[in-house]
Amino acid sequence: MLNRRGSGVLLHITSLPSAYGIGDLGPQAYRFADFLAGSGLSYWQVLPINSVDPGTGSPYNASSTFAGNTLLISPEFMCRDGLLSEGDLPVPNFPERRVEYLKVNSYKQKLFHRAYRRFKENKNQSEYEIFCKENSDWLEDFALFEVLKEHLEEGDWAKWPIEIRDRDPGVLQTLKDKLQDKAEMGKFLQYVFFKQWLELKGYCNKKGIEVVGDVPIYVDYRSADVWTNPEIFKLDGNKLPAVISGVPPDYFSSTGQRWGNPVYRWDVLKKSGYTWWVKRIGHNLKLFNLVRIDHFRGFVAYWEIPAGEETAVNGRWVGVDAVDFFDTLLRHFPSLPVIAEDLGVITPDVREVVARYNFPGMKLLIFAFGEDLPTNPYTPHNHVKNCIVYTGTHDNNTIRGWFKDEASADDRKRLFRYLGREVSEKDVHWEFVRLAMMSVANTVILPMQDILGLGGEARMNLPATTKGNWKWRLREKELTSNLSDKLLEMTRIYGRA
């Protein structure tokens, strides 16, 4: 599908407009799909849609790589399906521009309890039962995991009583019996989430919009995945991480980045035929038409840091048999529609793997105008067909924010010389959109903030910070017919419609 010219938008579901404090899978998501189709666009890229900690809202710190984020459930569609009544939906006074995750969680949990009570009164639950059966290999454990955190008043499973931490079958069965109703509610919410998600994906596909998902390479230590599969992670005798993930010192950080996720025991994964990864990729390919794999270089070699280290300096590179891994995935998924996130310092062995499997990589225009402009791989004249061009991603400033607050005087001069004229702060985003659209690259993905020309206040995430991220939201009035017409004109001019 990436072999033809096309373009799309990066906008996470949480950033959609809605009256309920957070973007969701309801009517506004369908309106956005209509906006994309009417603008001649072909792709809608989202961030991970997994269950999140409402304390941070980070889609990259999920409590499960399989479970969905129930905060994205649409209250309006729960009414449509008879799970709530109109009277259950007093419209709260939430901010229009930012998500307040804890407030949203408190509000929606009340709705969810009402919906679950009504659902239990329904005699026909065949769809729900089919869903539970088809997803039993992760759903049962996830539902129990979530209620155990509440029951034990401890979110860190490594601190649970040893027999629960180590998953004693008899003890777990006793707990399942005791906590059955609460666990059933968790399963019910997953059913509602995936029903709404697959309906939205189906609508997008009928409109000619392919949905692009995001699969982080690592999982959160405090997740159901590590509790249920400790053997595939490098843990010590107390089930704590022995080593953790990160990246070494580089131009941007003298101490590197200490991410803290547990790293995989690739030898154990290999002996199992990579069963866990095959299930994970298969699950995501049901939810998305394509998936971007975050930190792709970690499949070739990863930076391993002793858990006791406070920085990433004293780590080491550990190699992975990437060819065996991807060959295995290809036997299960012959097309394997993967985008390789290959940003940063990428070594020849990583490029070799990307080229071997013909995975498209990523090119960011925001990185194109440094001193090495003529040879910079992100500069438009150096693009290749098989890549995805972005103005920036969720981890970067917006183009307008970069131009105003981060670009040096020399960066601006190089940009002006490349464009052949000077441009103002209020117009610079359209110049970047145009550069992306005219690229030889088959695929272009534009963050919605850059299409709107918003400043640094609209950026989605500031890496290495834990507060204030993942909150930006789109206003309904910003999806204008003039904006759609301008995008449609560009998609037609540059052969992307």
CA distance 5 to 494: 9
Residue ranges of alpha helices (H) inside 321-394 are: 322-332, 348-356
Those residues with Cβ within 8 angstroms of residue 478's Cβ, 6 or more apart along the chain or in another chain: 452
Cα angle: 301, vertex 137, 278; to 5 degrees = 30
Other beta carbons within 10 angstroms of residue 300's beta carbon come to 21
Q: How far apart are CA 332 and CA 283, in angstroms?
A: 12
Token look-up 């002006």 returns 416
Beta strands per DSSP E along 153-232 = 210-216
Where in the sequence numbering do the catalytic residues fall?
Answer: 294, 341, 395
CA atoms of 361 and 396, how far apart (whole Å): 17
- Whole-structure pTM over 0.85, yes or no? yes
List phi, psi (to 5°) of 114.
Answer: -65, -45
Per-residue pLDDT of the chain (497 residues; tens, 9 = 90+): 688 999 999 999 999 999 999 999 999 999 999 999 999 999 999 999 999 999 889 999 999 999 999 999 999 999 999 999 989 987 778 999 999 999 999 999 999 999 999 999 987 899 999 999 999 999 999 999 999 999 999 999 999 999 999 999 999 999 999 999 999 999 999 999 999 999 999 999 999 999 999 999 999 999 999 999 999 999 999 999 999 999 998 876 889 989 999 999 999 999 999 999 999 999 999 999 999 999 999 999 999 999 999 999 999 999 999 999 999 999 999 999 999 999 987 899 999 999 999 999 999 999 999 999 999 999 999 999 999 999 999 999 999 999 999 999 999 999 999 999 999 999 999 999 999 999 999 999 999 999 999 999 999 999 878 889 999 999 999 999 999 999 999 999 999 99
If DSSP codes are grouped into helix, strand and coil, which group holds residue 154? coil
Total Cβ atoms within 10 A of residue 50:
24
**The CA-based dihedral angle spanning residues 446, 451, 455, 458, taken in that order and rounded to the nearest 10 degrees:** -60
